C-alpha cells in the first residue's frame, strides 16, 4: 500500500478495517506537524521505508489538520510513530529516531527475524523520547557495550550538554 495522508478518523477506520484481511494486518502512523523540524528531517526516511515494506500500511497524520486521530492516540510530541496490529496499538516511538523506526518496522514486517510471526512481543526496538531517554531498551547489560559505543550512541542533546559542561569546567580551571 502506498503512503497515505490521513484526512479523517473515518478514513483511518476504513483503512484499518480493510487491512484485517491481510496476513500481516500491520500499520504505522507518522504523527507530524508541518512546523516541526525533526518531522521534516525524518519524513523522507519514512517515505523510503514505505516503498521497502509493501505489506505494511504507512500512514501520515498532520496533528494540526486531523486532530481527532491525534487525540485518539493521545499524541503529545512530534514526530510520534504508532504501530498497530489490526486496530490495536502494539508499539510507539516518540522522536525522530531513524534507526529505531527502521528496526521496528523491519521487526514488525517480519523481515528481521526470519519467520515474521508478527506477535506483539516481537517489538523489541529502541525508541527515543523527545527528552532523549530510551522508551524501550534492548541491551542485555550495561557492560555489554564498549565505552566508545556508549559515547557514539548518546543522544545528540546529551553530547551537546556534555561538551558545554566540559567547556565550562575547562574555563573555570584556567581562571582559578
- Residue positions annotated with a catalytic role: 36, 39
- The answer to whether 62 and 7 are in contact (CB under 8 A) is no
**Separation of alpha carbons 101 and 92, rounded Å:** 9
- The answer to whether 93 and 80 are in contact (CB under 8 A) is yes
Three-state DSSP state, 136: coil
Between strands 26-32 and 80-85, the pairing is: antiparallel
Planar angle of CA 154, 155, 157, nearest 5 degrees: 125
**Separation of alpha carbons 156 and 94, rounded Å:** 15
E strands, the chain, are 4-5, 26-32, 56-62, 80-85, 88-94
Q: If you ran DSSP here, which 8-state letter would residue 54 be given?
A: T
Query: Residue 8 is placed in which grid cell?
Result: 479523517
Amino acid at each position: 500500500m502506498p503512503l497515505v495522508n490521513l484526512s479523517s478518523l473515518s478514513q483511518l477506520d476504513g483503512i484499518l478495517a480493510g487491512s484485517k484481511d491481510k496476513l500481516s494486518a500491520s500499520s504505522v502512523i507518522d504523527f507530524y506537524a508541518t512546523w516541526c523540524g525533526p518531522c521534516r528531517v525524518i519524513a523522507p526516511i519514512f517515505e523510503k521505508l514505505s516503498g521497502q515494506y509493501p505489506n505494511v500500511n504507512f500512514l501520515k497524520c498532520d496533528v494540526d489538520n486531523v486532530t481527532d486521530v491525534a487525540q485518539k492516540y493521545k499524541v503529545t510530541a512530534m514526530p510520534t510513530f504508532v504501530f498497530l496490529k489490526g486496530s490495536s496499538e502494539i508499539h510507539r516511538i516518540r522522536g525522530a529516531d531513524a534507526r529505531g523506526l527502521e528496526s521496528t518496522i523491519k521487526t514488525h514486517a517480519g523481515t528481521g527475524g526470519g519467520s515474521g510471526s508478527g506477535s506483539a512481543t516481537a517489538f523489541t526496538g529502541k525508541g527515543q523520547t523527545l527528552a532523549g531517554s530510551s522508551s524501550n531498551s534492548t541491551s542485555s547489560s550495561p557492560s555489554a557495550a564498549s565505552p566508545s559505543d556508549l559515547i557514539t550512541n548518546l543522544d545528540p542533546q546529551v553530547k551537546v550538554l556534555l561538551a558545554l559542561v566540559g567547556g565550562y569546567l575547562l574555563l573555570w580551571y584556567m581562571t582559578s
